[in-house]
Structure formats: C-alpha cells, structure tokens
Amino acid sequence: MATKKRTTPSIQELEKGILSGDRSALARAITLTESTRSSDKVKSISLLKKLLPNTGHSIRIGITGVPGVGKSTFIEAFGQMLTREGRKVGVLTIDPTSQKTKGSILGDKTRMENLSRDPNVFIRPSPSALALGGVTDHTREAILLCEAAGYDVILIETVGVGQSETIVRGMVDFFLLLVLAGAGDELQGIKKGIMEMADGIVVTKADGDNVKGAQQAKGDALQALHFQQPSQSGWKTKVLTTSSIENKGISEVWKVIEDYQSHADKSGYLEENRRKQQEQWLEEIIEQKFHEQMGNRVIAKMRSQLLKEVRNNKVLPLEAAEQFWKHITRHW
Ligand code: GDP
C-alpha cells in the first residue's frame, strides 16, 4: 500500500493545534521555524505573530553544566515533580558540540526516557548541524511556541562547554548551573563568568558517599560567591545540593526559582530583562544576517580581489574599504 504523503498543515491549522495543546502541531511548527526556505520563514513569522498574545507567561529556566554532571537526570526528577504539581513542562536542548562530533552529547535518545512519556511534557532537542547563532534564534522561537501551547515552565538545557551558556543566559529568566563536588572548577570547564551568570548553583549527586563532599562544594561555592559583584537584579545567587536519583533537594530548587520570580517580578527586573532580551534577539539576527551576507559569493569575491590589491600595494586599505562599502551597499 502506498504511504500517503503528509500534507503540510496550514498556518491556521498549526495555530489551532498549538493553542489546543497538540504536541504534534507544536513539533511541526518548531520544524517550520527551523526551515531555511524563505517561504517557510514568512509562514513562521506569520504564525508567531498570531500566537504572540498567548506567549510570555512561562518561567524560562536555563540549565547548564558539563557532560556527566547530571543534567538529564536532574531534569527528569525536576520535570516530574513539576508535572505532579499540575504544570506543563517544555524542555529544549541546545548542544553546541553536536556539529563537530556528529553524535551529540545531549542528543542521546535514551535521555529523559520517563519524562518524555509524560503527556504534560514536551521535549525537543536542538537541530544538530546549525551554527550556534542559528540554533539560538530558533530556540527563542521554540520558547514562544511552547508557551502558546500552554507550557508554563520552559527548561533550556545546554552543555557547559562553549559560548552557548552566554547565549542561553540571554533568553531565560533564571539560569541554573549544575556542578559536581570535588571535580575542581577547571575540570568542569567552569569559567569564572559562568558562575557569575548563575542565579542558582546546584551541587549534584549529593547521595551515598558523596554527601559530605557535596556539602563541602556548596560551602566553597558560597565562599566564591561572597566576593562576587551583586547582580543587576539584586538577587543573591543561591547554592543547593540535590540527589536526582534519591529525589532530594529537587523541590527546593523550584522553591528558589519561585522566590526569584517573585523578587524579580516585584522589582520590575523580570519584565525589563525580557525587554532587553527582545532587543538582544534583534541584534543577534541582524548580526547573523550580516555575516550571511558577507559570505555571499559576490561579496566574498570582491573582498578577496581587494585583499589581493591591498597586498600588492595597488590600493590603500582605506580606499579599498571605501570601494568595498560602496559596492556592497549597491549590492544590497
Ligand atoms: P548529563 O550528561 O549532565 O546529562 O548527565 P546525566 O544526567 O546523564 O548523568 C550522568 C551520570 O551521573 C549517569 O550515570 C547518572 O546515572 C549519574 N547521576 C545523575 N544524577 C545522579 C544523582 O543524583 N546521584 C548519583 N549517584 N548519580 C547520578
């Protein structure tokens, strides 16, 4: 029997599906936003605009930490706790390593197996082979789509190995850093800046023989934070210990996030931060488009031609730059 080709749903169908919480409509809408076809771009913008009034009501949480720190196990325990409380949880993962390694650290299908079976959870790994910039603006779109589909807690997971943490920090309300006890900052690749970005730090695997070490690590982190400049939000970074496998400390993490939310809500920081993030989003897209244009064949050819002329002292760099800008502005 011939298989019927899946027809592409219309914008109206996607909108209706998303608003009714249909996960497959949500998945297809995210796929649409990831498409590089310009007709799809037009469609996804129109869909997002329609859905915009239904977005923004979730708490957006970034979660980072080195591979093996226990991110997915934590998200399983944390997500299940939240759905037990009647919440709907969206999990978006960004894996900057997947492009290089072909296999991705976060992409493993067995991750978060229990959580993925929960009807109130939507898990979406990032498209693998995209440039970081590309991944991020799609993640922002995915956040909005999840919110429109009724997800009230959005977790954005990323591996703490690259610049992705900074990018994720720029799209969430609360940023959670997971660390291992006794592994040493260097080993965990924790650059000073990451700790400064965190609103909460969780020492994972605080169970069995590890309990004492975890407490020690918590003390060390608190001490390190003591010397840190206060954050813009006026919030003091909290440090906790958890055991995801023993389900300990998990609801305490949520409590901290709720405290943060009410603190930042009252002070107006939450809203102001989101406004700034909107601006940042635009800046990123403009920059990305600019880089794409620079890679354009005609421009690249012009550039290499001018480089050659400059190298051979045929033209001054200043003059070449003038010619270059004249050329590309005409080209645009
Ligand atoms: P990720 O790479 O950061 O997502 O880390 P995983 O969640 O895959 O965990 C890495 C390893 O640590 C796995 O073998 C987990 O079973 C183990 N692990 C995760 N959380 C805990 C925990 O709370 N306690 C203990 N003892 N092991 C844990």
3-state secondary structure the chain: CCCCCCCCCCHHHHHHHHHCCCHHHHHHHHHHHHCCCHHHHHHHHHHHHHHHHHCCCCEEEEEEECCCCCHHHHHHHHHHHHHHCCCCEEEEEECCCHHHHCCCCCCCCCCCHHHHHCCCEEEEECCCCCCHHHHHHHHHHHHHHHHHCCCCEEEEEEECCCCHHHHHHCCCCEEEEEECCCCCCCCCCCCHHHHHHCCEEEECCCCHHHHHHHHHHHHHHHHHHHCCCCCCCCCCCEEEECECCCCECHHHHHHHHHHHHHHHHHHCHHHHHHHHHHHHHHHHHHHHHHHHHHCCHHHHHHHHHHHHHHHCCCCCHHHHHHHHHHHHHHHC
Residue 205 CA, ligand 1 centroid: distance in Å: 7
| Res 217 pLDDT > 60 | yes
Residue 172 CA, ligand 1 centroid: distance in Å: 24
**Count of CB atoms within 10 A of residue 223's CB?**
10
Q: How many domains are contained in the chain? A: 3
- Which residue, judged by its Cα, is nearest atom 26 of ligand 1? 205
* One domain for residues 110 and 254: yes
* One domain for residues 210 and 165: yes
Residue range of the domain that includes 224:
55-266
- Which residue, judged by its Cα, is nearest atom 17 of ligand 1? 70
* One domain for residues 84 and 73: yes
Q: Which of 249, 266, 283 is the last residue of a domain?
A: 266
CA–CA distance, 60 with 254 (Å, rounded to integer): 12
- Which residue, judged by its Cα, is nearest atom 14 of ligand 1? 68
**Pairwise pLDDT comparison (174 vs 292), residue with the higher score:** 174
Is the Cβ–Cβ distance between 80 and 115 less than 8 Å?
yes
* One domain for residues 193 and 67: yes
* One domain for residues 39 and 86: no
Ligand 1 neighbourhood includes 198 CB (under 6 angstroms): no
Over the stretch 11-53, which tens digit does the pLDDT of each residue have?
Answer: 999 999 999 999 999 999 999 998 888 899 999 999 999 999 9
| Residue 272 falls inside a structural domain | no
* One domain for residues 255 and 130: yes
CA–CA distance, 51 with 29 (Å, rounded to integer): 11
- The pLDDT confidence band at residue 265, using thresholds 50, 70 and 90, is very high
- The pLDDT confidence band at residue 332, using thresholds 50, 70 and 90, is low
Q: What is the pLDDT of residue 295?
A: 75
CA dihedral in degrees (94, 97, 102, 107; nearest 10)?
Answer: -40
Mean pLDDT within 228-254: 93
Query: Exposure string (b/e) for 81-97, b if CB count within 10 Å is 16 or more?
Result: bbbeeebbbbbbbbbbb
| Residue 259 falls inside a structural domain | yes
| Residue 275 falls inside a structural domain | no
Q: Find the CATH number of the domain harbouring 17.
A: 1.20.5.170
Q: Which atom of ligand 1 is nearest to the CA of 105?
A: 2
Ligand 1 neighbourhood includes 68 CB (under 6 angstroms): yes
| Res 243 pLDDT > 80 | yes
Residue 321 CA, ligand 1 centroid: distance in Å: 53
The closest of 171, 128, 137 to 284, measured between CA atoms, is: 137
Is the Cβ–Cβ distance between 192 and 229 less than 8 Å?
no
Q: What is the pLDDT of residue 7?
A: 72
Ligand 1 neighbourhood includes 65 CB (under 6 angstroms): yes
* One domain for residues 47 and 61: no
Residue 69 CA, ligand 1 centroid: distance in Å: 6
**Pairwise pLDDT comparison (205 vs 127), residue with the higher score:** 205
* One domain for residues 147 and 234: yes
Q: Which atom of ligand 1 is nearest to the CA of 178?
A: 3
- Phi, psi of 68, rounded to the nearest 5 degrees: 95, -10
| Residue 271 falls inside a structural domain | no
Ligand 1 neighbourhood includes 93 CB (under 6 angstroms): no
Tokens read off for 80: 């299940």
- Which residue, judged by its Cα, is nearest atom 28 of ligand 1? 205
* One domain for residues 89 and 158: yes
Mean pLDDT for all residues in the chain: 86
- Which residue, judged by its Cα, is nearest atom 15 of ligand 1? 70
| Res 235 pLDDT > 70 | yes
Q: What is the pLDDT of residue 186?
A: 53
* One domain for residues 73 and 28: no
Ligand 1 neighbourhood includes 244 CB (under 6 angstroms): yes
Q: What is the pLDDT of residue 225?
A: 85
328 to each of 60, 303, 323, how far by Cα in Å? 39, 10, 9
- Which residue, judged by its Cα, is nearest atom 25 of ligand 1? 205
Residue 184 CA, ligand 1 centroid: distance in Å: 17
Ligand 1 neighbourhood includes 108 CB (under 6 angstroms): no
Test site for ligand 1: of 66, 71, 73, most ligand atoms within 8 A of the Cβ: 73
CA–CA distance, 87 with 68 (Å, rounded to integer): 27
| Residue 287 falls inside a structural domain | no
Name 238's Cβ contacts closer than 8 Å, sequence gap at least 6.
199, 200, 201, 256
- The pLDDT confidence band at residue 284, using thresholds 50, 70 and 90, is confident
- The pLDDT confidence band at residue 128, using thresholds 50, 70 and 90, is very low
* One domain for residues 14 and 148: no
Q: How far is CA 316 from the centre of its chain?
A: 44
Over the stretch 79-122, which tens digit does the pLDDT of each residue have?
Answer: 999 999 999 999 998 866 554 444 455 555 467 888 989 999 99
Ligand 1 neighbourhood includes 64 CB (under 6 angstroms): no
CA–CA distance, 162 with 165 (Å, rounded to integer): 7
